[in-house]
Amino acid sequence: MESLLVNSVEKNLTQFMFSNAIFLCERLLADFPSEVNLQLLARCYLSNGQPYSAYYILKGSKTPQSRYLFALSCFKLDLLGEAEAALLSTVEQQIPGGAAGHYLLGLIYRYAGRKNSSVEQFRIALSCDPLCWEAYAQLCSLGVAEEASTVFGNVAAQRLQKTHVPQRINFSEGETKDQLIDSDKASKDISVWQTEHVPGENQQDLKVKQLGAEIPPDTDNQRNASSHTNGWDLNTPSPVLPQVLDVPPPMLYKNMRRPEVEGLMSVHGEPRKKFVCEEESSEAPEESRRRRSARIAAKRKIPMFHHSPSESNGVPSLSSMIGKCRIQSSKEATTSGQSINDTGSSVDDEQNSNPRGSSLDPFSLMSGISEMLNLLKILGDGHRSLHMYNCQEALLIYQKLSEKQYNTHWVLMQVGKAYVELQDYFSADSVFTLAHQKYPYALEGMDTYSTVLYHLKEEMRLGYLAQELIAIDRLSPESWCASGNYYSLRKDHEAALKMFRRAIQLNERFTYAHTLCGHELAALEDFEDAERCYRKALSIDTRHYNAWYGLGMTYIHQEKFEFAQHQFQLALQINPRSSVIMCYFGIALHESKRNDEALKMMEKAIVADARNPISKYFKANILANLGDYHKALKVLEELKDSAPQESSVHALLGKIYKQVKLYDKAVLNFGIALDLNPSTSDAVKIKACMERLIVPDELETEEDL
Amino acid sequence: MATESSESEEEGKISGGNEKLILDDDLREMGKNAAWSVSSCKPGNGVNTLRDDNLETYWQSDGLQPHLINIQFQKKVRLQLVALYVDFKLDESYTPSKISVRAGDGFHNLKEVKSVELVKPSGWVSVSLSGTDPRETFVNTFMLQIAMLSNHLNGRDTHIRQIKVYGPRPNPIPRQPFQFTSTEFLAYSTLR
C-alpha cells in the first residue's frame, strides 16, 4: 500500500490536487511513518501554500532534505534565524539542497542584511550550478557581480558537462503519440511549475525520490499507457548519487523507449537537458527526475508551452528545457528540430518516435552547453550592465540576442528599464507597450511602465493600464503601483498614497513601492514621513538610488542643503551617469554657496545627457544668480531654440534682460512666456515684472512730452 | 479659477451651484494646515462637519448673526478660492444668503476681500478671492474669515455642509523662480 499511496500522492501533486494529496499523505504517514513520507507531506503542504504546516511537521528533522524543506518553510514564514540554523546545522559540512540550498541561504542573509555572507553564498551557488541564474541576478542587484564571461565561462561549462554527461540515456517515445505526450507533459510541466516555485525544491524532491527509490519498486507497470517501466530497470536509482558520474552512458537504442536517467544525482539543481515525457512511472526516481527537470524548467520560468507547432516527428518539443534563462525561447523549440546542436535535442533519427531528450552523445551535449552558456553570458552581461547603470552598453549587449530571445518578456523589460534610466521615455514607452501587448499577463516590470507613462503625462493610457493590471491580478504590487502613479499624475496625492500603501501591504520588500510612497508624502509636504519611507526602501535595497534622490530632494525642500548634497553624492556613486541627480546636486551646492562646484556639476550634467534641458536651465539660473548675465543669456538663447515651447525659459530670459536693461527684449520674452500657459502664480509674477518694466518707459515718454 | 458658477460681476450674485467641484489643476486645498473655528454651533453639528468630506453632515450655528467661520494659518499663505457646499432645497431658511469673506493678520485687522450674495444655491459654490488686477490674484494672509451676514427667508441660523479653501500649488522643483510647463522639461525634471 505504501508505494501505491506514494505514487498517488505524487500524481496528485503533479495534477495540483493538493487537498487530495494531503489527505492521502496523512493516511500514508499514519501507517508508514518515515522521514521520507514526512517530507512528502511537507511537500504537499508547501505546494498548497501552507508553509506553517510544513514548518511544524518538519521541526527537528535532521536529514538534509528535511532540513532544506524546513528552511524553506521558515523562509516563507519569515523566520530567518531558524531557516539559517536549519541550513547550517549539519554534521557533514554540506548545505543541503546544493546550489538551491546555497541560494536560499544567500537570500536569507540578504534579507537579514548580511551582505557579505549573502554574496558568498550566491557565488557558491553559482559555482555549484552555473544555471542558477537567480543567484547571478541577486549578485547583480547587490552590485558585486563578476563579469558574465567568467561566471558562465569554461569552468561553468566543465561543471555542467560533468554533471550531465554520464547520465544520459535517451528516452524516446516510441509509439506514444506526440500529442498525448505533449499534453501530458504539458500538464505535468504546469503542475510542476506551480508546485515548485522555489528554487531547489526540485532538488529536494529529487532527493526525496532518491530515497523513495528505496521503497520497494512495486512497479505499477500498468500505471500509464506507457510501458516504459521495463526500460527503467536499467536505471540505477538511488544508490546512484555521485557515483553516477562514473557510469558511462548507456547505449542508445533506437526506436525503443528508454528510460532516461537523470544524471543529476548530485547536489545541483541542475535541470535536465532532456525533457522526458511524463509517463507516470511507478519508479520513484524516474518520476522524480522527470519532475525535477520539469520543475527546474519551471523554476526558470519558462513558459509552459514549448510545443512548437512546427514540431514534426523528429523534433522534441521540450528538448531545450535546459532551463535557459528565464524565458524559454520558442526559438529553441522550433529550431530544435533543425539545430541538432541545440540544446541537446536528439540527433538520432527516430522516425516515428518523438525523441524527447537531448542527444546522448557528449558532442552535442557539449555544444548544447556552450550554446546555453553563451546565451547566459550575453544576458548576464546585459543584466550586470543595467545594474551598474551602464545603460547604453546594456542596450548594445541585448541587441546581440537573437530576435526570438530578445522578444521575450524578461529581455524587453530589461531593455525598457535601460531606456528609462537613460531618461529616454519615448523609446521606453514603445518597448513596454510592445511587451505588454505580447505578454499581457506578465506583470513584472509594469510598475516601471507606469512610471514611464507618468513621465509622459499619458493620463488616459496610464489609467487604462492600471485598470487592466488590477483586473488581471488584484494581489500584485505592480498593479497598485500603476494605479498609484495614475492618481499621482492627477495630483491626487492622498489617493496615490493609499494605492502605494496597498502595494506595500502585498509585498513588504517591494522597494519601489516604498520609494513611491516617499515621493507622494514629499508632494504632500510631509517630509518627515517621506524620509521614513525612503529610508525603509533603502533598508531593503541600498542600491535603490531613487530613494537616495528622494531623500536629497526632501532635504532641499527643507533647506538642509548639506544633507542634500550627501544624499545626492551617494546616489551618484550608485548611478554615476544620471544627469538629473547631477542637476539637483548642483542646486544643493549652489544653495550652499559652493558656486564653482555647482557650475562644474552642471557642466557634468550637460555632458552626461545632452538632451536634458534642465541642466542648461539650472546652469543659466545659477549664472544669473551670480550676476553673470551674459553667459546666462547665451545658455538660455541656445535652450530657447531647442525648447521653444517652454514658458519658464522665456520668463527667465525676460528677467535677465531686465537686469541688463534690455527692456524691449525683456518685454518680448515675458509676453511669449505668458502665451505659453504658465501656472497661475507664475503668470502673476510675470505680469508683475512686465508692469514694472513698462513704468520706466512711461516716465521717459512723459518727460519727453 | 472655478468656472461653473454664473456670477454677474457687478453685483456679486451667485445662483445655482454644482454637483461636483471642478477646479483648475494648479489649485491646491490648503485647509489641512489651518485651524478652523466657528462663532457658535449646535451640539452635534460642530466645526468638524465642515471638514469631514461628508455632504450629509452640516454645521449649524446657534447664536446671533453674523455667523463666522475662522480659518487661521501658521504662516502667511496665498489663497485664491473658497468653495462652499450649500443647498437651498435641503436647508431652505438655513441657507446663507449674503456672505462676506475677510482676510487679515488676526481678529483685530480683518478686512473684507469679497462679498457675494447667493440666490437659492444648490451644490458647490465657488467664491473667488481674486481682484480684477492680476496682481491681486491671490490673497496673502494669515487668516480668513467667512461671515454669513444673512440667510434665505430671513432665517436666524445657518447650515453649511462643507467648505474648502484653495491656493496655488507651489513649484515642485525647489528653489526655482518659475514652474515648468512643457512635457519635456517636466519629464526630465524629476526622477521617480
Please, are residues A290 and A276 in contact by the beta-carbon 8 Å criterion? Answer: yes
DSSP state letter for B49: G
Q: pLDDT, tens digit, for every residue of A229-268?
A: 444 344 444 443 444 444 444 444 444 444 443 333 333 4
In DSSP terms, B79 is beta-bridged to B139
What local confidence, expressed as pLDDT, does residue A283 receive?
Answer: 41
State the cell numbers at A383: 543584466
CATH of the domain at B32: 2.60.120.260
What local confidence, expressed as pLDDT, does residue B7 receive?
Answer: 42
Q: pLDDT, tens digit, for every residue of A591-646?
A: 999 999 999 999 999 999 989 999 999 999 999 999 999 999 999 999 999 888 89
Give the strand pairing for B67-79 and B111-119: unpaired
Contact residues of B toward A, CB < 8 A: 24-26, 28, 78, 80, 134-135, 137-138, 168-169, 172, 174-192
Give the total number of structural domains in chain B.
Answer: 1
| Residue A522: HSE in the Cβ half-sphere, 13 Å Cα cutoff | 28
What's the one-letter identity of residue B117? E
DSSP state letter for A278: -
What local confidence, expressed as pLDDT, does residue A217 receive?
Answer: 41
B177 part of a folded domain:
no
A225, A302, A242: which is closest to A92 by C-alpha? A242
User: To probe the interface with A, which of B32, B53, B183, B192 has the most A CB atoms within 10 Å?
Assistant: B192
Distance from CA of B30 to the nearest CA of A (A): 11
Q: Do A557 and B174 count as a contact with CB atoms less than 8 A apart?
A: yes
Residues in Cβ contact with B157 at an 8 Å cutoff, skipping those fewer than 6 apart:
B42, B60, B61, B62, B63, B67, B94, B151
B35 part of a folded domain:
yes
B180 part of a folded domain:
no
Please report which helix (H) or strand (E) contains residue B83, including its range: strand B81-87
Give the ipTM of the model, two decimals please.
Answer: 0.86
B182 part of a folded domain:
no
Q: What does the pLDDT average to over B141-167?
A: 93
Please report which helix (H) or strand (E) contains residue B100, including its range: strand B96-104
- Rounded Cα–Cα distance for residues A141 and A511 (Å): 12
What local confidence, expressed as pLDDT, does residue A284 receive?
Answer: 43
In angstroms, what CA-CA distances link A665 with A194, A230, A662, A702?
A: 69, 95, 6, 22
In DSSP terms, A616 is beta-bridged to none
B131 part of a folded domain:
yes
What local confidence, expressed as pLDDT, does residue A362 receive?
Answer: 75
State the cell numbers at A228: 516504459
Query: What is the average pLDDT value for chain A, to the nearest integer?
Result: 77
Whole-model pTM above 0.80?
no
The C-alpha torsion from B76 through B77 and B83 to B86, rounded to 10°, is -20
DSSP state letter for B45: B
Structural domain that includes position B19: 13-169
What local confidence, expressed as pLDDT, does residue A464 receive?
Answer: 96
Please tell me which of the candidates A451, A612, A676 has its beta carbon nearest to residue B181: A676
B189 part of a folded domain:
no
Q: What does the pLDDT average to over A376-405?
A: 93
B183 part of a folded domain:
no
Please, are residues A46 and A73 in contact by the beta-carbon 8 Å criterion? Answer: yes
Q: pLDDT, tens digit, for every residue of A454-512?
A: 999 999 999 999 999 999 999 999 999 999 999 999 999 999 999 999 999 999 999 99
What's the one-letter identity of residue A212? G
Q: What is the DSSP string of A177-232?
A: -HHHHHHHHHHHHHHHHHH--STTHHHHHHHHHHHHTTS-----TTSSS--THHHH
Q: Do A648 and B189 count as a contact with CB atoms less than 8 A apart?
A: no
- Rounded Cα–Cα distance for residues A499 and A506 (Å): 11
Give the strand pairing for B13-15 and B111-119: parallel
Q: Is there a cis peptide before residue A362, judged by omega within 30 degrees of 0?
A: no
Please tell me which of the candidates B25, B172, B188 has its beta carbon nearest to residue A614: B188
Residue appearing with cell numbers 454645521: B59
B8 part of a folded domain:
no
A62 or A528: whose pLDDT is higher? Answer: A528
In angstroms, what CA-CA distances link A388 with A144, A325, A377, B167?
A: 9, 20, 16, 43
Distance from CA of B79 to the nearest CA of A (A): 11
Please report which helix (H) or strand (E) contains residue A136, including its range: helix A133-142
Please tell me which of the candidates B138, B176, B184 has its beta carbon nearest to residue A684: B138
